[in-house]
Amino acid sequence: MSANIAVLVSGGGTNLQALIDAQESGILHSGKITLVVSNAAGAYALERAKKANIPGVTLLKKQLGGQAAFEEALQKTLEEYHIDVIVLAGFMTILSGDFTAKWPRRILNIHPALIPSFCGEGFYGLKVHQAALDYGVKVTGATVHYVNHIPDGGEIIAQKAVEVLPGDTPEILQRRVMEQAEWILLPQATEAVCKEICQ
C-alpha cells in the first residue's frame, strides 16, 4: 500500500520537482504523487506535473468567491482523488483552522528557515532570507513541519542547517537553502510521514 499525495503549489514548483525526482529515484516510495493543485493560473509547477504525467488542477480563490469556497472546492478535489497526505510546496495561501483540523498530521509544509526563527505570518520567499541576513545569523536552513491553524506553528518533523556566507544576498542564500536543505529534506520527510500512515 502507498499513500496518495497531493502537492499544493503557487509558482515554479522546484520543491515539487524535488518530490517527483525522489519518487523516480525511489527515495519516496511509501507515497505516490497523484495530484498537483495550483492556486495560481499558469504556475510553472503545473508544467512539471504534466511532464511527469500527474493530474494538475487550478483552483482560484477569486473566481470561487473567497477562502471558504476555495477550501470547499479543495476538499472536494482531494476527496475525488482519494488523497491521504497534502504537501505544501511554495503554496502561498494560508489554510484556515477549519480546513487543517480535517487533516491532522496529514499536511506538511516546508519553510526556508530554522523554525522558530523567521517564521509566521508575513515570512515567506525572499523575505525570510532577507530577515536572516538582516539579523546576521551565521546558520539558517529549512524546516518541514505539520500544518495547523497557526502559520508555521505545527509540530516540527525535520530540520536541516545551512551556512550563511559572507557576501550572501537573499537570492544567493535562497538558492543554497533550496539545494542543500529543502530539496533533500522535503522528500525525506514526506516519505517518513507516508510510511507511518501505511503501517
**98-126 tens-digit pLDDT:** 999 999 999 999 999 999 999 998 999 99
Q: Which residues of 130-154 are buried (b: 16+ CB within 10 A; e: fewer)?
A: bbbbeeeeeebbbbbbbbbeebbeb
Phi, psi angles (nearest 5°) of residue 79: -65, -40
pTM above 0.75, yes or no: yes
Q: Which domains does the chain have, with CATH numbers?
A: 3-112+142-159+182-198 (3.40.50.170)
Q: How far apart are the first and last CA of the chain?
A: 9
111 tagged catalytic: yes
Query: pLDDT averaged over consecutive 10-residue blocks of the chain (199 residues)?
Result: 96 97 97 98 96 97 95 98 97 94 97 96 94 97 96 96 98 98 98 95
**30-46 tens-digit pLDDT:** 999 999 999 999 999 99
Choose, from 29, 111, 129, 145, the residue flagged as catalytic: 111
| The C-alpha cell that represents 46 in the structure block | 503545473
Instruction: Determine the Cα–Cα distance for residues 15 and 183; give it in Å rounded to an integer.
Output: 6
| The C-alpha cell that represents 138 in the structure block | 551565521
